[in-house]
Amino acid sequence: MTKLFLIDGTALIYRAYYAFIRNPLRNSAGQNTSAIFGVINSFLKLFQTQDLTYAIISFDLKEETFRHQIDENYKANRPPAPEELIEQIEPIKEFFRIIKLPEISIAGYEADDIIGTLSMKYQDEYDVIIVAGDKDFSQLVDDKIKLYEPFSEKYVTK
């Protein structure tokens, strides 16, 4: 069966940023570029080692999600994203726009909601491969849906 890669862009951004937290990468202007480097490098490795004929990326958007309506304390204890991380999001998205990787991001939903929904919708038509470092996706893993951890370059199995 043909593979469909569903990439959690937000998870990749956070993972790449914090991978370099003790020794951040900086450009000549002193701006932190750790997330940009990490995400693009991970994607290029994925592209070189996997058949990315069909791939979609999704990002969390700024708007609150339906979970905030259900529970006003949703993520209330989570500190806000560092400004140095936020500054890198748009250049990363621009990279994916330039290479014409389709993006599905919807206000009111997190990237993992979209990826989970697409996984279930297309599992009978494709071998679905979720690309994320988020182990929460492991609950979807079965013979039709796989989880690929791009930083370790390994598949998560049940």
Structure tokens at 158: 């049940």
Mean pLDDT of 122-129: 96
Structure tokens at 117: 């929904």
Yes or no: say if 131 and 46 are a contact pair by the CB < 8 Å rule.
yes
β-strands 54-58, 3-8: how paired?
parallel
Q: Where are the alpha helices (DSSP H) in the chain?
A: 9-19, 34-49, 66-70, 83-98, 111-122
Asked if the model's pLDDT at residue 149 lies above 70, the reply is: yes
DSSP 139: G
Amino acid 76: pLDDT: 55
Amino acid 22: pLDDT: 95
Mean pLDDT of 33-40: 97
β-strands 145-149, 154-156: how paired?
antiparallel
CA–CA distances in Å: residue 83 to residues 14, 88, 110: 12, 9, 20
Nearest to 102 by CA among 49, 135, 57: 57
Amino acid 152: pLDDT: 87
Mean pLDDT of 18-23: 95
Amino acid 49: pLDDT: 92
Amino acid 74: pLDDT: 59
- Confidence category of residue 71, pLDDT binned at 50, 70, 90: low
Mean pLDDT of 32-55: 94
